[in-house]
Amino acid sequence: MDNQFNLKITVENLAPRNGTLFSPLWFGIHDGRFDTFDLNSPASIAIERLAEDGNAEDLMEDFNDTEGGFAQGLIGTTPDPFLDLFPGDIVSTIVSIDNSIPGSKYFSYASMILPSNDAFFGNENAIEHQIFDDAGNFVPTSFIISGAEILDAGTEVNDEDRFNAVGVGPVPLIDFQPNTGIDEKGVIIQHPGFIPDGNILSPKDVENAVPTSSADFTVPNYPIALITITEVDDTTSEDDDILGQVFGSEDDDLFKVGITPGFDGDGDFVFGSSGDDIFDVTNATGNNLLEGGKDNDLFFLGRNNRIIAGDGDDTIFVSTGSGNVITGGPGTDSFWIAISSLPEGVNTITDFELEVDVLGIGDLDLEFSDLSLTQDGTNTVISTETQDLAILLGVQSNNLSEANFVFV
């Protein structure tokens, strides 16, 4: 048995335009014993440096010194130096993993939120994301980090002073001087959010400041990042990072795997522009990014794709696929979470709007009373008796009713 796996780790900044940035993402692959931080406890020096300055050097040293750590790295927009991820940025790296080594089982991550004094995100639970099961089989992984998961390191007062908070005011990010804030001597807690009329949401140095008027991550359903881990054939980045880019016209376009030139359905980026476009990745390998753009688009999904439907009244059919992450965008969107047969697994909807969008189930002997709506943190899981169908990020289960569904 070949124990070598090439894993592609992809990070996308999901924040809206003029929203939050984040520093190059640190990741570590380990045996489950690496404790990055603990809520309601003082931050380590490593987390303090990461949360205040976006500097992961100490965290990487801690990981190297920890028994059970296997591989780690940074993911940013450019190497040497790695740069921060702005809204819309998508970056990847590929690591080779030997699944026979016990330390290659779990995935951890951490990054600083910008601008801020000491805001960050990461996984407190070291075994939350298992990428190899007990038999050594790779487990494809994809998850979204929401605004509700942003933490305050408790190490620096949140004054949003332009010379203390990274990314605020006229100081360029790359020239920012560390350790300039006021010590707080607190503990790690959920971040309360930025000051409503402070320098982040209402920059006083508009001409020179990074535009962040849409950086209020306390807004319900605020998306921060999407992290996806998939297996690829080799480590050649030019073959794996962006395998194909397909652009539509201003008219109604059809994007179908194997028919549309340049679209083979394996790690492609497809941009629809305007027009009522049709995207069909039913039989695709996966790991595609589909952007609908403007107007009313139609999507037929397979597995493990990222969909940003865009403006307009869009319709998304998941078919039997799973592992898709779907953002409907502005407009009245229809999310068909099961058609003719149940999907292979769960799909995630990032921005379901209760009074606007609709969830559909078709050609199945199911009605609303057959569904379970379960609260999982800030999200709702929709299930049948036998399996989960969809996860609605930032939606309270008790706010959903039969009126949000259509059955045909």
**Predicted local distance difference test score (pLDDT) of residue 73:** 87
- pLDDT tens for each residue of the chain, 408 residues long: 467 788 999 999 999 888 999 999 999 999 999 999 999 999 999 999 999 999 898 999 899 888 888 888 889 876 545 678 988 888 888 888 877 777 789 999 999 999 999 999 999 999 999 999 888 889 888 899 999 999 999 999 999 887 778 776 554 444 455 567 789 999 999 999 999 988 888 876 545 556 788 899 999 889 999 999 998 876 444 433 434 567 777 789 899 988 888 788 887 778 787 889 999 999 888 878 888 888 999 999 998 888 988 889 999 999 888 889 898 988 999 999 999 999 989 999 988 999 999 999 999 999 999 999 999 877 899 999 999 999 998 899 999 999 999 999
**Predicted local distance difference test score (pLDDT) of residue 146:** 93
Q: φ and ψ at 50, to 5 degrees?
A: -65, -45
All residues at 6 or more sequence positions from 307 whose CB lies less than 8 Å from its CB, including other chains = 279, 290, 292, 299, 301, 316, 324, 325, 326, 327
Burial of 338 (C-beta count, 10 Å sphere; 0-12/13-18/19+): buried
**Predicted local distance difference test score (pLDDT) of residue 243:** 41
**Predicted local distance difference test score (pLDDT) of residue 61:** 87
Q: Are 76 and 25 in contact (CB under 8 A)?
A: yes
Angle (CA) 69-70-73 rounded to 5° is 100
**Predicted local distance difference test score (pLDDT) of residue 171:** 44
What does the pLDDT look like over 163-205, one tens digit per residue?
A: 778 776 554 444 455 567 789 999 999 999 999 988 888 876 5
Instruction: Tell me the residue type at 360.
Output: G
**Predicted local distance difference test score (pLDDT) of residue 24:** 92
Q: Which of 118, 188, 218, 102 is nearest to 160 (CA)?
A: 118
**Predicted local distance difference test score (pLDDT) of residue 80:** 46
Q: How many residues does the chain have?
A: 408
Strand positions, DSSP E, 45-99:
69-75, 90-98
Q: Please state, in angstroms and rounded to a whole number, the distance separating the CA atoms of residues 391 and 319.
A: 16
Q: Please state, in angstroms and rounded to a whole number, the distance separating the CA atoms of residues 146 and 15.
A: 9
Q: Are 287 and 266 in contact (CB under 8 A)?
A: yes
* CA–centroid distance for 179 within its chain: 29
Q: Please state, in angstroms and rounded to a whole number, the distance separating the CA atoms of residues 215 and 235.
A: 35
Strand partners, 306: 289, 325
What does the pLDDT look like over 97-126, one tens digit per residue?
A: 877 777 789 999 999 999 999 999 999 999
Q: φ and ψ at 166, to 5 degrees?
A: -60, 130
**Predicted local distance difference test score (pLDDT) of residue 408:** 92
Q: Are 320 and 341 in contact (CB under 8 A)?
A: yes
Q: Are 343 and 317 in contact (CB under 8 A)?
A: no
Strand partners, 26: 74, 110
Q: Please state, in angstroms and rounded to a whole number, the distance separating the CA atoms of residues 145 and 369.
A: 31
Q: Are 122 and 51 in contact (CB under 8 A)?
A: no
3-state class (DSSP) for residue 173: helix
For the whole prediction, is pTM greater than 0.85? no
Q: Which of 132, 128, 102, 145 is nearest to 7 (CA)?
A: 132
**Predicted local distance difference test score (pLDDT) of residue 2:** 62
The class of domain 4-225 in CATH terms is: mainly beta
The token pair at 51 is 């949360």
Q: For residue 407, is it left (φ>0), alpha (ψ between -120 and 50) or beta?
A: beta
Q: Please state, in angstroms and rounded to a whole number, the distance separating the CA atoms of residues 35 and 257.
A: 43
